[in-house]
Amino acid sequence: MRWWGWGEDGHAGSLSAAAEALLRDELGVDPEARRPPVPFEQVSAPDAGLPDSLRERLGAAVGAEHVRDDRETRIAHAVGRSYPDLVRIRSGDASSAPDAVVLPGSAEQVAAVLAACAEERVAVVPFGGGTSVVGGVEPVRDGFAAAISLDLSRVSATVEVDETSLTARLDAGLFGPEAERRLGEAGVTLGHFPQSFEYSTVGGWVATRSAGQASTGYGRIDALVEAVRCVTPAGELGTRAVPASAAGPSLRELVVGSEGVLGVICEATVRVRPAPRARRYEGWSFASFAEGCDAFRVMEQAGAAAEVCRLSDEDETRLTMAMASSGGTAEKLGKRYLRMRGHERGCLAIVGFEGEEEEIEDRRRRTAALLRAGGGVALGRRPGDAWRRGRYAGPYLRDELLDRGVLGETLETATSWSNLGALHEAVREALRAALGARGTPPLVMCHVSHLYASGASLYFTFLARQEEDALAQWRAAKTAASEAIMAGGGTITHHHAIGRDHRHWLETESGALGVEVLRAAKERLDPAGIMNPGKLLP
Amino acid sequence: MRWWGWGEDGHAGSLSAAAEALLRDELGVDPEARRPPVPFEQVSAPDAGLPDSLRERLGAAVGAEHVRDDRETRIAHAVGRSYPDLVRIRSGDASSAPDAVVLPGSAEQVAAVLAACAEERVAVVPFGGGTSVVGGVEPVRDGFAAAISLDLSRVSATVEVDETSLTARLDAGLFGPEAERRLGEAGVTLGHFPQSFEYSTVGGWVATRSAGQASTGYGRIDALVEAVRCVTPAGELGTRAVPASAAGPSLRELVVGSEGVLGVICEATVRVRPAPRARRYEGWSFASFAEGCDAFRVMEQAGAAAEVCRLSDEDETRLTMAMASSGGTAEKLGKRYLRMRGHERGCLAIVGFEGEEEEIEDRRRRTAALLRAGGGVALGRRPGDAWRRGRYAGPYLRDELLDRGVLGETLETATSWSNLGALHEAVREALRAALGARGTPPLVMCHVSHLYASGASLYFTFLARQEEDALAQWRAAKTAASEAIMAGGGTITHHHAIGRDHRHWLETESGALGVEVLRAAKERLDPAGIMNPGKLLP
């Protein structure tokens, strides 16, 4: 990944003229102004300060060539990919760079690294693909002799498929595309496609309770993990790969979502499905977000949801079309359709089926009948195919916005169907009030993208003209939205995890005693407190 | 419930002549011999020894009339309903009777009781319906000043349905029939029907990770619980009722299955479904257990399983028909069908759909095609309806067997589809070897009754002539089966929980470090160690 943003240069998009006009007209952004990242040479990172004795032990454990403290590697592991992360790194602030990046090749090497670091009181930050948007992979050195980033990318050899039981044992360091490629060789898929898919890892997904874009159909990662192998400073925590058990509290569910503070997830056994041989993604339009939510609820509760189900609110529908980088293509066509059908201020939905050709057609008939009964108008495949092509493009767009001095941030929650409309409104209001009060009134968009029988996620994107103190502006917006979510009965995070940025709200989410229980587990597994300090636990 | 066995006298069945003959011919049971329970007057319980100061505090907390230490109440709370429990209580051994039975009326009263007991070092045993078959509700007094049974049956006022989100907040003390009756008034069902349904409670289900007979369709209780409210000696542990969250490890999954050792589950928010307006239960026959398992696997992995899916192995099929108490009815008809179809030594399956009339017919068509393709022969509705009528009768039959000096016990596990056949054989062999060596060769039956995409449960029933030392005989069989399950890659329990009887194997199941983590959680929530001592943790 490029050090100052998302992904690789070759894949970056660009803003359309319409998007530029929108930023100027609706946010007051100066179309000529640019805020590029500082040149790499100007990035400031502290001197690497790994104690010599430790470097020797680490080298003995993983091989000297896998203990790196060159400037490039350290800066690449300094921050994740959240908005505040990028604001800081683009400005040249890599003060959080680790003293070294250590790349173990196996769970046994991970154990050796943890033993050495526990003895020398060196903080260990597990690092998968580094795509955290909540500060989950940023090294914290406070009170420690040093901090290392433990890059799992070499723990990536094993993909062992049980084709009868439809499970697969996966090494944690496998990146999304490689995991799917190797699963595909056995004719199966995990079906887990978060927006970060190309640059995130199996271990990262499990550690953060990730949900993919097709999780309505395939299930979120916590529903797909059958067993985990987690190496902690106190030893190995492993769970049996059985389909279900009544053997006490679920230790698997303690490891899933533990964000590196208990140990290092080295392996997961996951449920897989036959790789789909057919796909059908299509667009639908609803007259309003409320109407669309209701139709989605009925569909989901009837067991008729597609793999991908996504409904944009009125503002997201309008702005997505305007912002679309590829002017004149499918998005525009979709817009024309909508106007024709009298849904000019309506909401766009994407409904995507994956499976066998005939099975998809059968399912689609039932789903379409329900959506039509709920007021939906079918827009055909173009909007669906366009969405699918652009499904991983969002973070590139954020780089473009940052370059133009635009705050572009996302946050997400989930709540019950009966509370969905109220929470949607409360968060929008909170963002508008917080940013409006600073003289940078935002555009706030939202979509529902993960359906459950009892409720759904709400995924907000907001844009505003960037203030000089971009971090203070971001913090004000983030705090306002988070307080609104907590007061409004949502969860502080549906699939981004807690990390550093949500820590403050974990006690509201889980209660003081709940936090105490997590602390007790951490103290037992990580007595020296070296595992990913400053994350998850307040 | 009758103090010496299951349920109420009015509902008890009786053994058919064919069953009597089978016990005589295959197990060598003397048809005339009887081992009735001792008269109630001869049951021996220790004197109630609640410290006066505590009795006063408890009375102040819950009302003096809800602190009971009469003989009947204490003996009714002395043991659960496992085979060894019944052997002991029928012999007049109520040495485990609690010093008092306390019936709080609310979560607040539960908190007050725990506070008082923690101060006076009195053990607290949460008690729902008392149907544990693993020793989960038996008071343990060792090292404590006294032990009370905390009967939750008065915490049963609330059934609050969110009809839009299809969730319901339920008080823990609600018994199955009452919970379903009140949910039914709102047009919904939890769909949770364990064999103990009539005498077990919501709280008990959650505390033990219960799975109902229709869990293949409705989901096991752990999949249905969205939030819990658990009162611990250290305070209240509550989780948010949201459909999904990425806010760290799941505390809900720490409370679910905690078997009263962390605190008292006072309330659960569960997912419900529209109450079915139609049901279609039918019988199927397969030439062999292996063939049937394979057909069930294909059906489940295709998403075509019915709410109830149950497949008996060859021995269970044969013996169930012979043991059926209602000679000359549906079971016999089923037997005739099987013979006609050339499946004389085959396996009987029950496939039961619940939902809307038309929807069921659609689903059934697809399921039936898959089962037929897998070698299944449809036997029509009679075997299905007969199974449904008798679905709660099993434990009554056990009383009849005990009366005749027959060991009748069940145990269960789950494993992956690819391992199912080997584990089935290993457990059968272990039971045969262990009991054969004692001169009491058993009849061992098994069925698959809970399907998952990655595997299934195996539920074993075994019968043998009872030895004089019935407990030693039981322990030998239980140990052999449990060791075979652990060595064979199963879970020590699929839905009966750990309790006292499976404690020894928890470390094999969860690892030494896993047990340590549970201990750490317990120490934080229950510093005085008063919560259900002797259960779950080895």
Judge: A247–B452 Cβ closer than 8 Å, yes or no: no
- The DSSP code sequence of A151-211 is EGGG----EEEETTTTEEEEETT-BHHHHHHHHHHTTEE-----TTGGG-BHHHHHHHT--
Q: Is the pLDDT of residue B328 over 60?
A: no
Judge: A253–B258 Cβ closer than 8 Å, yes or no: no
In a 3-state reduction of DSSP, which class is residue A227? strand
Pick the residue of A215, A251, A507 with the most B CBs within 10 A to test the interface with B by mutation.
Answer: A251
Size of interface A-B (CB pairs under 8 A): 279
d(CA B538, CA B110): 26
Q: Cβ(A465)–Cβ(A405) under 8 Å?
A: yes
Handedness of CA B393, B398, B401, B403 (dihedral sign): negative
Judge: B257–A246 Cβ closer than 8 Å, yes or no: yes
- The DSSP code sequence of A486-520 is HHTT--S-SSS--TTTTHHHHHHHHHHHHHHHHHH
Distance of residue B208 Cα from the nearest chain A Cα, in angstroms: 6
A457 chain-B contacts, CB cut-off 8 A? 244
At position A363, the amino acid (one-letter code) is: R
Residue with tokens 């823990």: B172
Distance of residue A93 Cα from the nearest chain B Cα, in angstroms: 28
Which of B240, B255, B524 is closest, CB to CB, to A520? B524
| Axis-axis angle for helices A417-436, A470-487 (nearest 10) | 150
Pick the residue of B261, B510, B526 with the most A CBs within 10 A to test the interface with A by mutation.
Answer: B510
Judge: B454–A521 Cβ closer than 8 Å, yes or no: no
Which of B243, B490, B514 is closest, CB to CB, to A414? B243
Judge: B249–A238 Cβ closer than 8 Å, yes or no: no
Q: Cβ(A407)–Cβ(A453) under 8 Å?
A: no
Residue with tokens 């009326």: B105
Residue with tokens 């990944």: A1
Beta-carbon count within 10 A of A276 CB:
19
Q: Cβ(A129)–Cβ(A204) under 8 Å?
A: yes
A490 chain-B contacts, CB cut-off 8 A? 242
ipTM above 0.90, yes or no: yes
Which of B236, B452, B520 is closest, CB to CB, to A513? B236
B239 chain-A contacts, CB cut-off 8 A? 510-511, 514
Distance of residue B241 Cα from the nearest chain A Cα, in angstroms: 8
Token duo for residue A261: 């503070």
d(CA B235, CA A513): 7
Q: Which residues of A243-269 are buried (b: 16+ CB within 10 A; e: fewer)?
A: bbbbbbbbbbbbbbbbbbbbbbbbbbb
Helix H or strand E encompassing A274: strand A273-274
pLDDT at A332: 59
Q: Please count the helices (runs of H) and the strands (runs of E) in chain A.
A: 19, 19
A498 chain-B contacts, CB cut-off 8 A? 246-248
Beta-carbon count within 10 A of B45 CB:
16
In a 3-state reduction of DSSP, which class is residue A419? helix
pLDDT at A525: 98
Judge: A517–B166 Cβ closer than 8 Å, yes or no: no
d(CA B486, CA B482): 6
Judge: A517–B226 Cβ closer than 8 Å, yes or no: no
Beta-carbon count within 10 A of A21 CB:
13
pLDDT at A235: 98
Mean pLDDT, chain B, as a whole number? 95
Token duo for residue B512: 């030494």
Residue B151 φ then ψ, to 5°: -85, 120
Among A233-247, B8-22, B492-506, name the one with the lowest average pLDDT.
Answer: B8-22
d(CA A485, CA A412): 9
What confidence tens digit (pLDDT) does each residue in B125-169 have? 999 999 999 999 999 988 999 999 999 999 999 999 999 999 999
Distance of residue B98 Cα from the nearest chain A Cα, in angstroms: 24
Nearest CA to B486 out of B508, B510, B517, B455 is that of B508
Which of B232, B250, B519 is closest, CB to CB, to A253? B250
d(CA A203, CA A259): 10
d(CA A15, CA A463): 14
Helix H or strand E encompassing B311: strand B308-312
What confidence tens digit (pLDDT) does each residue in B228-274 have? 999 999 999 999 999 999 999 999 999 999 999 999 999 999 999 99
d(CA A371, CA A252): 37
Nearest CA to B167 out of A385, A107, A454, A235 is that of A454
Q: In what order do the strands lie in the sheet with B225-232?
A: B159-162, B167-171, B264-271, B225-232, B235-238
d(CA B212, CA B189): 13
Judge: B414–A521 Cβ closer than 8 Å, yes or no: no
Pick the residue of B206, B209, B240 with the most A CBs within 10 A to test the interface with A by mutation.
Answer: B240
Running along chain A, 538 residues long, what does each successive block of 10 average in pLDDT? 90 84 94 94 95 95 98 98 98 98 98 98 98 97 94 97 98 98 98 97 98 97 98 97 98 98 98 97 96 98 97 94 60 62 84 96 96 97 93 90 96 98 98 98 98 98 97 98 98 98 98 98 98 97
pLDDT at B333: 57
Q: Cβ(B451)–Cβ(B349) under 8 Å?
A: no
Token duo for residue B461: 């029933």
Judge: B244–A414 Cβ closer than 8 Å, yes or no: yes
Q: Cβ(A500)–Cβ(A136) under 8 Å?
A: yes
| Axis-axis angle for helices A289-301, A417-436 (nearest 10) | 150
Closest CA in chain B for residue A509: B240
Which of A167, A246, A521 is closest, CB to CB, to B493? A246
pLDDT at A31: 87
pLDDT at B336: 66
Q: What is the pTM of this model?
A: 0.96
Q: Which residues of B281-300 are buried (b: 16+ CB within 10 A; e: fewer)?
A: bbbbbbbebebbbbbbbebb
Residue with tokens 């495949």: A381
- The DSSP code sequence of B86-145 is HHHHHTTB-TT--SEEE--SSHHHHHHHHHHHHHTTEEEEEESSS--SSSTT----TTSS
Nearest CA to A221 out of A240, A237, A239, A208 is that of A208
What lies within 8 Å, CB to CB, of A245 at 6+ separation is: B209, B414, B491, B492, B493, B494, B509
Which of B415, B495, B518 is closest, CB to CB, to A248? B518
